[in-house]
Structure 1
Amino acid sequence: MRALVLEERLKLSLRDIELPQAVGPRDVKIAIHTVGVCGSDVHYYTHGRIGPFIVEEPMVLGHEASGTVVEIGAEVKGLKVGDRVCMEPGIPDLSSRASKLGLYNVDPSVRFWATPPVHGCLTPFVVFPEAFTFKLPDNVSFAEGAMVEPFAVGMQAASKAKIAPGDTALVIGSGPIGIMVALAALAGGCSRVYISDHSAAKLEIAGRYDGIEPIKLPEQSVGEVIAAGTDGWGVDIVFEAAGARSAYDGIFGFLRPGGAVVLVGMPVEPVAIDIVSAQAKEARIETIFRYANVYDRAIALISSGKVNLKPLVTGVYPFEESIAAFERAASADPHDVKLQILMG
């Protein structure tokens, strides 16, 4: 099948590639409709690696996808041909100790789309387990279905934060994941979410949502804005979603005593954490890696209208222009949040 293939660092091609298409008894075959361009896809394109995951042979990109079921396995019960679906892109070993604990996202043997050496989904058809394929409600579009994956990261962060109704939060970083975290925090019960960044364009997009208050750096001081908005008490939760070393500077100073810091961003280099400042507030530190057991709830929130992801799609490309979509994503246009590729 024709696919978008990362041949090696900085080299993409649209070409035929042989991919498994045998439908097992509990699998479904899906005609891909929409695929989002993720920051990790772009990082593999520009750097050839993310930490220990190194592109050593050609790999099909893409892991944020929606489509239509065109074939089902003999034992599939919950889906039928014609169903519109989205897919949770990591396939764990369901017999592993991590999976049995409900932590299948950190199963060491998980096979995640477009993570070397596993091929992704930027190709017309994929075969995928029914267990990780989710039917889309009629009022959820393919575009929204393809954004369930990044929104699930926000859902995981909000869940780990243990939000109480009325909490206030700060999100550091207004990239796609930062905005998704802010929306999930609001849906989870936060009364107000501050979001800080240097990008005026991205902050303008985030600020269109009721309940999100942008903080433009360096013109505004995060500490001063938080102090003024909380009577000097601090926010209940800080979500670090930038993955930048500078984001950790003074991070516990924004937090109320006993609050939580949730680490979402993945720094490329080691960062320093002020342990004493964390101890002085008895801060709770949480980390997330992808997501687990949140996909169905993410879809339900989108369907309910309580979370609107549509404004975050800032560019759409046909499959034949996939390389151009990646070149645009790699240029890091500050006005872009989410680019998507239409396969049909």
Structure 2
Amino acid sequence: MTKMRALVLEKQHELTLRDIELPMDVGPGMVKIKLHTVGVCGSDVHYYTHGRIGPFVVNEPMVLGHEAAGTVVEVGAGVTGLKVGDRVCMEPGVPDPNSRASRLGMYNIDPAVTFWATPPIHGVLTPYVVHPANYTFKLPDNVSFAEGAMVEPFAVGMQAATKARITPGDTAIVMGAGPIGTMVALAALAGGCARVIITDLAQPKLDIAARYQGIIPVNIKAQNLVDEVNRLTDNWGADVVFE
């Protein structure tokens, strides 16, 4: 264990920036990463405001943060795909490789997954973290650390777009223009949608989403969504809806 400064959720409504002991041994198959950028997820905010998400309860101090990118500073024995100096992003959930879900190729739904910043697992709003190399991914030179930290939420969008079985030329609706909604909209466009109508009550969020070609914002406080969809599709309607 090594003491280092971290953003610690002591309990509901109480955050401190302090030293805390965290595991830093770089064993076989592991890499040590110097963190550069860590996003703040809705779940981090929810743990702060509510102290729990479903059965996951903050019963003791926990480091927040799970959307991260950084630089490899040490590699463990047997690691061949990464080297010191590589810029990387990390998958925050590590499954049991022997679970039924993992063996079926659906490790993302493994009930035994250990997920950063999900009680009692510490997150990565820290200077360093040690993580399995198999769940650490090298970033291309043209991808920034900030974009790397957004890979995890973008994966949510990709999963949604894949499950929707989009057909090229489809019109999609995304209800909610927060970060995840915007990621879903971009993934839907990448998956073949000709356009995505995105809705929200907050105009600043819609303004951000509307910067991307193919995304049409609808503020449902000022516009009727059904009327707008009918107008844009000649009364045909949308092909796919994401909530």
TM-score normalized by the length of structure 2: 0.97
Could you list the per-position Cα deviations for residues 227-251 of structure 1 after superposition, in whole angstroms to 9, with x for gaps in the alignment?
12222222110000xxxxxxxxxxx
Give 1:128-147 correspondences, 5 Å limit. 128-147=131-150
Unpaired runs of at least 5, structure 2: none
Of 205, 208, 212, the residue aligned with 1:209 is 212
Pairing 1:124–2:127 present: yes
| Alpha-carbon distance in structure 2 between the residues aligned to 1:15 and 1:204 | 37
Q: What is residue 22 of structure 1 aligned with on the other side?
A: 25
Q: What is residue 76 of structure 1 aligned with on the other side?
A: 79
Q: What is residue 180 of structure 2 aligned with on the other side?
A: 177
Q: What is residue 231 of structure 1 aligned with on the other side?
A: 234
Structure 1 runs (4+) greater than 6 angstroms displaced = none
| Alpha-carbon distance in structure 1 between the residues aligned to 2:164 and 2:105 | 17
| Alpha-carbon distance in structure 2 between the residues aligned to 1:224 and 1:169 | 15
Of 44, 49, 52, the residue aligned with 1:49 is 52
Q: What is residue 39 of structure 1 aligned with on the other side?
A: 42
The Cα shift of 1:80 comes to: 0.4
1:154 alignment partner, SS class: helix
The Cα shift of 1:218 comes to: 2.1
CA RMSD across the alignment: 0.8
Could you list the per-position Cα deviations for residues 264-288 of structure 1 after superposition, in whole angstroms to 9, with x for gaps in the alignment?
xxxxxxxxxxxxxxxxxxxxxxxxx
1:137 alignment partner, SS class: coil
The Cα shift of 1:102 comes to: 1.5
The Cα shift of 1:168 comes to: 0.8
Residue identity matched to 2:165: K
TM-score normalized by the length of structure 1: 0.69
The Cα shift of 1:213 comes to: 0.5
| Alpha-carbon distance in structure 2 between the residues aligned to 1:224 and 1:74 | 60
| Alpha-carbon distance in structure 1 between the residues aligned to 2:173 and 2:164 | 12
Residue identity matched to 1:92: P
| Alpha-carbon distance in structure 1 between the residues aligned to 2:121 and 2:77 | 25
2:21 alignment partner, SS class: coil
2:239 alignment partner, SS class: strand
| Alpha-carbon distance in structure 2 between the residues aligned to 1:177 and 1:11 | 26
2:26 alignment partner, SS class: coil
* Aligned length in residues: 240
1:76 alignment partner, SS class: coil
| Alpha-carbon distance in structure 2 between the residues aligned to 1:219 and 1:141 | 36
The Cα shift of 1:176 comes to: 0.8
Give 1:150-299 correspondences, 5 Å limit. 150-240=153-243
Unpaired runs of at least 5, structure 1: 241-344
| Alpha-carbon distance in structure 1 between the residues aligned to 2:208 and 2:32 | 36
Residue identity matched to 1:146: A
Pairing 1:61–2:64 present: yes
Residue identity matched to 1:37: V
| Alpha-carbon distance in structure 1 between the residues aligned to 2:143 and 2:237 | 37
Could you list the per-position Cα deviations for residues 148-186 of structure 1 after superposition, in whole angstroms to 9, with x for gaps in the alignment?
111111111111111111111000001111011101111
1:25 alignment partner, SS class: coil
| Alpha-carbon distance in structure 1 between the residues aligned to 2:69 and 2:236 | 43
My pick for the range that moved more, 151-160 or 229-238, is 229-238
1:134 alignment partner, SS class: strand
